[in-house]
Amino acid sequence: MKKVLWSIISKEFIHIRRDKQTLAIVILWPLLMLFLYGYAITLEMKEIPTIITDLAHNPLSREYVDDIASSRFFRVTGRDIAESEIEPVFRHRRARCVIVIPPSFGKDDPGNRIIQLIIDASDPNAANYIHTYLGTITASFNRRHSGGMRLPFRFEPRLLYNPDLKSSFFFVPGLVAVIIMLFSALLSSIAIVREKEMGTLEQILVSPLTPMQLVIGKLVPYLLLSLADSILVLIVAHVCFTVPMHGSGILLLATLIIYVVSGLSFGLLISTVTRSQQIAMMATMVITVLPSFLLSGFIFPVRSMPLLFQGISQIIPATHFLIIIRGIMLKGAGLAELMPQLGALTLFSLVLISVSIRKFHTTLE
């Protein structure tokens, strides 16, 4: 039994070693995705073109304006425009927001005390960010001047865990979750479908090999490869994107193994119903990547989804892994806090792997 397993595992390693192109893709693609998302497609905004109309013109208002202008979020492109000019400014895209400081700013005047923030909300996401950024700047301004003074702005957002509002902190762990799911599923589905295509599977099926041996023999090498890949991505995330690692590395590794097994079993399941490598690839992309991207809470928070999708998100392994990895890395959460997610993930992996072994017949039917 052991020897048989070993011969499959070692053969699979030879395939991995010989096929340098695939190996390079397996290693480089996740890193490429990481850098693309980490740098290019960040969800944070910098240097937002901004026009400030200061109607107060007192030392306090000037300090406030300086706060805004010196932050990395805003770039002041114009000052003191009339109200009628606001719309043309947006239409010609000279600014994305206009901040209007009322004449009563800093005075103990019960009149107009509210700062107007007029945002071009054609991109609602961006509008949201601008709102948040200004809120943060205002809040710190308020803290400095809170000596009995009436506050010019009403809300004070508190940003926990990611006080610098770095989207990469939030993004990279999520990206790791998606990348691992994609790769583990892709590797295992292709490993089996390739043998179907080449005709070697038929040869193996006439041998006394059991489905269990074949499945495990195929999974072990790709489990190790996927793990190595994930650890590489995590290290790069930690070093290049300074994503903190507050929790236990061992706990993370253990979760990774469970998560990778669920991905590999997913791929295996796909391979039992597909005949060509292309179809296996497409199916894997559609079945694993899309839900992991869209429904797992990677980009859109699960709680803001319609109820149906919230339900679906619960049966996506990435949803649970995302909570775990963000919990461990950003919050330093431990085993106790993550028990429900870990339980769900383990259950998934067990169900998936047993279903795929059952579905993997040693006959051609």
Interacting residues with another protein (CB under 8 A): 3-4, 6-8, 10-11, 14-15, 18-19, 198-200, 202-209, 362-365
Contacts of 160 (CB under 8 A, 6+ apart): none
Q: Smallest distance from the beta carbon of 119 to another protein, in angstroms?
A: 53
Q: How many Cβ atoms sit within 10 Å of the Cβ of residue 198?
A: 10
φ, ψ at 256 (rounded to 5°): -55, -45
Identify which of residues 205 and 281 has a Cβ nearer to another protein in the complex. Answer: 205
77 by DSSP, 3-state: which?
strand
Query: Greatest CA separation found in the chain?
Result: 90
Identify which of residues 122 and 200 has a Cβ nearer to another protein in the complex. Answer: 200
Nearest C-alpha neighbor of 260 from the set 361, 352, 357:
352
Q: Smallest distance from the beta carbon of 253 to another protein, in angstroms?
A: 30
Identify which of residues 114 and 198 has a Cβ nearer to another protein in the complex. Answer: 198
Identify which of residues 72 and 361 has a Cβ nearer to another protein in the complex. Answer: 361
Identify which of residues 310 and 362 has a Cβ nearer to another protein in the complex. Answer: 362
97 by DSSP, 3-state: which?
strand
φ, ψ at 281 (rounded to 5°): -65, -50
How far apart CA 211 and CA 28 sit, in angstroms, is 32
How far apart CA 299 and CA 175 sit, in angstroms, is 10
How far apart CA 20 and CA 84 sit, in angstroms, is 64
Q: Smallest distance from the beta carbon of 17 to another protein, in angstroms?
A: 9
Contacts of 125 (CB under 8 A, 6+ apart): 43
Q: What is the CA radius of gyration of the chain?
A: 27
Q: Smallest distance from the beta carbon of 218 to another protein, in angstroms?
A: 12
Q: Smallest distance from the beta carbon of 191 to another protein, in angstroms?
A: 12
Identify which of residues 15 and 131 has a Cβ nearer to another protein in the complex. Answer: 15
Q: Smallest distance from the beta carbon of 211 to another protein, in angstroms?
A: 11
How far apart CA 99 and CA 81 sit, in angstroms, is 10
Q: How far is CA 162 from the centre of its chain?
A: 14
40 by DSSP, 3-state: which?
helix
Q: Smallest distance from the beta carbon of 29 to another protein, in angstroms?
A: 21
Identify which of residues 3 and 92 has a Cβ nearer to another protein in the complex. Answer: 3
Q: Smallest distance from the beta carbon of 22 to another protein, in angstroms?
A: 11
Identify which of residues 4 and 231 has a Cβ nearer to another protein in the complex. Answer: 4
Please answer whether residues 54 and 65 qualify as being in contact, where contact means their C-beta atoms are separated by less than 8 angstroms: yes
